[in-house]
Structure 1
Amino acid sequence: MDKKRLAVNMAAQLLAFAVNMGISFLLAPIIEAKMENTYGFVTLANQFVLYAQIVVSALNTMASRFITIHIHRGEDQTASEYFSSVFFGNVMMAGIFLLPALVIVIFMGSMPFLNVPADVLHDVQLLWAFVFANFFLSIITSVYGISTYATNRLDLTSIRTMYGDIIRIVFLFGTFLIFKPTLWFIGAASLLSTAYTAFWNRRFTRQLLPQVQMKISNFRWKKVWELVSLGAWNSLTRLGQQLLDGVDILLSGALILDGNASMTMLSLAKMVPTAISSLMGTVVGVFNPQITIAYAEDNTENLVKIIKSCNRILIFIMSIPIAFLTAYGRDFYAMWQPTKDADMLQRLSLLAVGVLYVSMSIQVLYHVFIITKKVKWNSLVILGSGVLSSCLSLLLLKTTDLGVMVFPLSSMLTGLLRNLIFTPIYAARCLKIRWNRFYGDILLGWISIGSIVILGNLSRMVFPVDSWIKLILTGVVMGPLALALNFLIILRKEEREMVIGMFKSRLKGAK
């Protein structure tokens, strides 16, 4: 395991993530203050794109796995064929999705399940047009992002992604200051950021993988079918995950009496849990290239070692924001969204983040299913849990007065059940190791979260938080204490060296 490269990649990825999340949390209250009960349409637009990405993922999910393995085995022509097949396949899928995207945008006002108020219809139409355009550009150029993955240089993409986010925020603040704030500025800014990142990913591909040639003559229908036949199971996984995490926004707007208000409340409450999930994906993504490379080299011992290190690094990082949300969430929401019900926002966000109490310790195991090509059962289980979650939501909505809370509650219950019973056992079976090998990591995660929550609640008793200054001061003091606690309790020698290397990389980058 290349600890130095992991440290550099991790530092760059976390920096890019911090910039992106900072922008998101800064914009949400501004948009809600300027255009009350409309922020939910931004989330809903992105959710519609996620449904389309479920189909696209059938071709793209396995692409990095196949291309990386063939490059590291010296099979450049085969890698070129996969690369070209993915690119031109994505172009064809973008063309297929263009017509339904136009229909949705043009006839949005007559679609009752969207329930768009007439006074913001034109603005929402433009927003969705830009969101769809951003989606098309993203899928067409997505294959270029594999170059930094295959060469384990994720830091290059991370830095350019961060610059793209800075371009996005400069554009947004510029337009918001000069013109009347409108929702479609958000979509336009995202498109601009994606174009910048795509340009640099294409350059990185030429620099890092000069042996991989993207040509129409390298396109192979056989390669497309091979990727789709395996990736289709991952599409089912994405569909199940969307039923667990994404359909609630649409249903809350369509089925609850105060639709737009509930949709906006749920969208705001899920921002912190979504940010934590994105952070978790960022950390896991740093390890995925080395996991894939270790598998390509048939090094099972090193593969399991990397997975266990990733689990501990995940706990080291992820337990802190989860515990802080548990302890300080209500105080944060009261200041971040002063016009909203802070208690309700806290309840919704804790339900939304509940599944991470388990999944944060074993999230990397989902990549095990991909590299071993054992995706079928995982996909079926996630799809089944997504269907169960949706059915449970509708049942609770009809039989209880929980209102919008039924959606994150149902998702949490089914997610916990899956991650406690199926995921760790099946991953161990795919790796041909002892069935209960990963349950110790789950227990370790609970110990870490519980310790930090206790520490946070004791702190609140001594130093109540009722202003941004006090919240920031609390974070400045409690954050390092929580890190030190995790550093001593959670990490082993090799992970401690990795974390020290990550901080050294950040310090060098700051000079």
Structure 2
Amino acid sequence: MSRKGISYEMSLNLGTNFLALLLNILLGLVVVPFYISKIGVDGYGLIALATSFSSYLSIITIAIDAAVGRNFTLAMRKEDHQSSSAIYSSSIIAASVLILGLLPLIGYFLYRIDDFISYQGYTVPEIRWVFLSIITSFILTFIRGLFLVPAFASNKIYIQRIIAILDIVVRTALIFLLLNASVQLGMIGWAFFAASLLSFVVALVWIWRKFPFLKLKAAHYDKSIVQYVASMSFWLIINQIGTLLFINIDIILLNYYYGATATGEFSTVAQWHTLLRAFAGVFVAIFTPVVYKYYADNDFSNLLKFSRYTVVAMGVVLAIPIGIIVGYADIILRLWVGEQFVRFYPLMILLTGHLIFNLSVLPILSINSVYNKVKIPGITSFLCGILNLVLGVLIIRFFDLGIYSVAIASAVLLTLKNLVFSPTYAARILNQSNWFYYPSILRGCALFVWVLLVSWCCRHLQTPGSWAGLFVSAVIIGGCSIPFAWFVTLNKEQRVLIGKIIRRR
């Protein structure tokens, strides 16, 4: 594909990713206070916990998606329809068998659910249904992702995002309608399930119309393909276990040691951490297929330049929102969920501040997958995740810092992993020096410090008392930060590249 074609598709992908992100942010900011007003902090904590348990299934699903996406993309780039069909059918059939194998484990968890979680004010059947529906919703989303692998391989990420937007909008609309009709926790389960089922059907219709040569047939099942994908997926699964022990173990520990209220309080504040990760995911989603294309075309020179550019780009787009959230944490909480949450502003700073390091390096993690160098990152991530679990328990037991305990452990260990190991390992894969990515990382960090300084000055001049005032402050801070980003964060080559893109648009 020409560079013009790549640029055009990246523009479509970026636009739909931003639309999905905007909806996630807006709806997230509205839905969380709505949850709290209807089902209370404890109820919201249970929804967050159910989502967290579902995420543990992603240990397997994300690994399979990555492995299948890599191999399917390489086959598509070679226009090998036979191999594409074999990979497509084999992956979906194998994933379906795997899910069937997990059903007894899921069934046991649901049957003994009152032994695993802490809750109050709800019946066991109601809790069981919420967890069942959200887990089922997650499984449908996973299978939908496998059916949409051709969209990823052809760099049509915007198709995946349009379907995801449909899921978000339908789910949110149903949540508002059902909870207004009846304030029952189980209504939220129906909203998750119905939205996922609808988006799954839409995905099937699109694939069957746009890729008619791809037929899901048992005759296309190839055991050797499954074995190859499984060998790559194994280390990706190990990696995902470590990642989830960083991200999702927090609220499980809090629920176990401190109960549903603490879980709800932490989950509410952590929503901003989640939104920032979603914001970063917008760019990771559009950068990764381009890395795969350069690799498939043996264009290693552009792959090298592009991978370094993605780190700078992530730093530029993340520094301003993270800096504003850190600088105005107390004001955001007051305006968003009320005065009672303002006391948690240090937690909000702790959960979001370190993301300037940990999210900037996300694009280069695709280097590990595209080169199939996933064993060492998998082991490293797993060991760090186990250490995070142990450290979190130790801090809770010996220091009793409440909901801050797990946040401290995760922030420290995740930063050490992504600031020390991830960039140096990717650089070695590309036969570059260990310091290859650090100048790009530091450029984004410098912009982050600048945004904090500007935010501090703006707060001393005027403290916002409304969303409108906060928006004006954010615009001023962003405007003051753009010259710094242009002349300091970006180098000359990157400024020329962006200038060409702007003129072309």
Q: Classify the TM-score, shorter chain.
A: over 0.9
In 1, the alpha carbon distance for the partners of 2:163 and 2:141 equals 15
Contact kept, 8 Å, 1:60 with 1:86, in 2: the verdict is: no
* Candidates 109, 112, 117, aligned match of 1:104: 109
* Candidates 88, 91, 110, aligned match of 2:96: 91
1:29 equivalenced with 2:28 (yes/no): no
In 1, the alpha carbon distance for the partners of 2:241 and 2:215 equals 33
In 2, the alpha carbon distance for the partners of 1:416 and 1:314 equals 16
Q: In the alignment, which residue of structure 2 is the partner of 1:466? A: 465
Corresponding letter in the other structure for 1:97: L
In 1, the alpha carbon distance for the partners of 2:66 and 2:323 equals 32
In 2, the alpha carbon distance for the partners of 1:208 and 1:308 equals 34
Contact kept, 8 Å, 1:148 with 1:204, in 2: the verdict is: no
Query: How much has 1:314 moved relative to structure 2?
Result: 1.1
In 1, the alpha carbon distance for the partners of 2:117 and 2:267 equals 15
Contact kept, 8 Å, 1:85 with 1:219, in 2: the verdict is: yes
Corresponding letter in the other structure for 1:271: Q
Cα deviations across residues 268-315 of structure 1 (Å, max 9, x unaligned)? 121101110121122111011111011011111011122122222212
Q: 1:41 to 1:351 in 2, by over 3 A?
A: same
In 1, the alpha carbon distance for the partners of 2:268 and 2:420 equals 31
Corresponding letter in the other structure for 1:161: A
Query: How much has 1:34 moved relative to structure 2?
Result: 2.0
Q: 1:327 to 1:171 in 2, by over 3 A?
A: same
Q: In the alignment, which residue of structure 1 is the partner of 2:136? A: 133
Q: In the alignment, which residue of structure 2 is the partner of 1:285? A: 285
Q: 1:244 to 1:369 in 2, by over 3 A?
A: same
Contact kept, 8 Å, 1:147 with 1:208, in 2: the verdict is: no
In 1, the alpha carbon distance for the partners of 2:260 and 2:357 equals 32
Query: How much has 1:451 moved relative to structure 2?
Result: 0.8
Which secondary structure state, in structure 2, belongs to the residue aligned with residue 415 of structure 1?
Answer: helix
Larger relative contact order (Cα-Cα within 8 Å, sequence gap ≥ 6)? 1
What does residue range 369-408 of structure 1 map to in structure 2 within 5 Å?
369-408=368-407
In 1, the alpha carbon distance for the partners of 2:495 and 2:216 equals 43
Q: In the alignment, which residue of structure 2 is the partner of 1:171? A: 174
Query: How much has 1:167 moved relative to structure 2?
Result: 1.8
Q: In the alignment, which residue of structure 2 is the partner of 1:508? A: none
Cα deviations across residues 456-502 of structure 1 (Å, max 9, x unaligned)? 11111111022223223323443444445434443423552477389
Q: In the alignment, which residue of structure 2 is the partner of 1:361? A: 360
Contact kept, 8 Å, 2:242 with 2:382, in 1: the verdict is: yes
Corresponding letter in the other structure for 1:379: G
Contact kept, 8 Å, 1:60 with 1:227, in 2: the verdict is: no
Contact kept, 8 Å, 1:323 with 1:450, in 2: the verdict is: yes
1:220 equivalenced with 2:222 (yes/no): yes
Contact kept, 8 Å, 2:315 with 2:445, in 1: the verdict is: no
In 2, the alpha carbon distance for the partners of 1:495 and 1:311 equals 15
1:265 equivalenced with 2:268 (yes/no): no
In 2, the alpha carbon distance for the partners of 1:127 and 1:339 equals 30
What does residue range 222-261 of structure 1 map to in structure 2 within 5 Å?
222-256=224-258, 259-261=259-261
Cα deviations across residues 17-54 of structure 1 (Å, max 9, x unaligned)? 11022212211111112222221111111111122221
TM-score normalised by L of structure 2: 0.93
Q: In the alignment, which residue of structure 2 is the partner of 1:300? A: 300
Contact kept, 8 Å, 2:38 with 2:179, in 1: the verdict is: no
Cα deviations across residues 302-361 of structure 1 (Å, max 9, x unaligned)? 1112212222221221112211111011110122121533132x2222222243221232
In 2, the alpha carbon distance for the partners of 1:101 and 1:494 equals 53
Q: 1:450 to 1:125 in 2, by over 3 A?
A: same
Contact kept, 8 Å, 1:90 with 1:139, in 2: the verdict is: no
In 2, the alpha carbon distance for the partners of 1:63 and 1:263 equals 35
Q: 1:195 to 1:432 in 2, by over 3 A?
A: same
Q: In the alignment, which residue of structure 2 is the partner of 1:337? A: 337
Contact kept, 8 Å, 2:423 with 2:438, in 1: the verdict is: yes
Q: In the alignment, which residue of structure 2 is the partner of 1:322? A: 322
Which secondary structure state, in structure 2, belongs to the residue aligned with residue 361 of structure 1?
Answer: coil
Contact kept, 8 Å, 1:148 with 1:154, in 2: the verdict is: yes
Q: In the alignment, which residue of structure 2 is the partner of 1:412? A: 411
In 2, the alpha carbon distance for the partners of 1:93 and 1:287 equals 30
1:124 equivalenced with 2:127 (yes/no): yes
Q: 1:480 to 1:127 in 2, by over 3 A?
A: farther
In 1, the alpha carbon distance for the partners of 2:464 and 2:197 equals 41
Cα deviations across residues 118-140 of structure 1 (Å, max 9, x unaligned)? 53544322211211221222233
Which secondary structure state, in structure 2, belongs to the residue aligned with residue 15 of structure 1?
Answer: helix
In 1, the alpha carbon distance for the partners of 2:482 and 2:46 equals 37
Query: How much has 1:229 moved relative to structure 2?
Result: 0.9
Q: In the alignment, which residue of structure 1 is the partner of 2:442? A: 443
Contact kept, 8 Å, 2:72 with 2:150, in 1: the verdict is: no
Root-mean-square deviation (CA), in Å? 2.0
Q: 1:354 to 1:385 in 2, by over 3 A?
A: farther
Query: How much has 1:427 moved relative to structure 2?
Result: 0.2
Moved more, 389-398 or 482-491: 482-491
Which secondary structure state, in structure 1, belongs to the residue aligned with residue 403 of structure 2?
Answer: helix
Contact kept, 8 Å, 2:326 with 2:352, in 1: the verdict is: no
Q: In the alignment, which residue of structure 2 is the partner of 1:63? A: 68
Contact kept, 8 Å, 2:89 with 2:218, in 1: the verdict is: yes
**Number of residues paired by the alignment?**
497
Which secondary structure state, in structure 1, belongs to the residue aligned with residue 340 of structure 2?
Answer: coil
Contact kept, 8 Å, 2:326 with 2:348, in 1: the verdict is: no
Q: In the alignment, which residue of structure 1 is the partner of 2:485? A: 486
In 2, the alpha carbon distance for the partners of 1:103 and 1:462 equals 58
Q: In the alignment, which residue of structure 2 is the partner of 1:509? A: none
In 2, the alpha carbon distance for the partners of 1:106 and 1:339 equals 39
In 2, the alpha carbon distance for the partners of 1:480 and 1:86 equals 48
Contact kept, 8 Å, 1:59 with 1:224, in 2: the verdict is: no
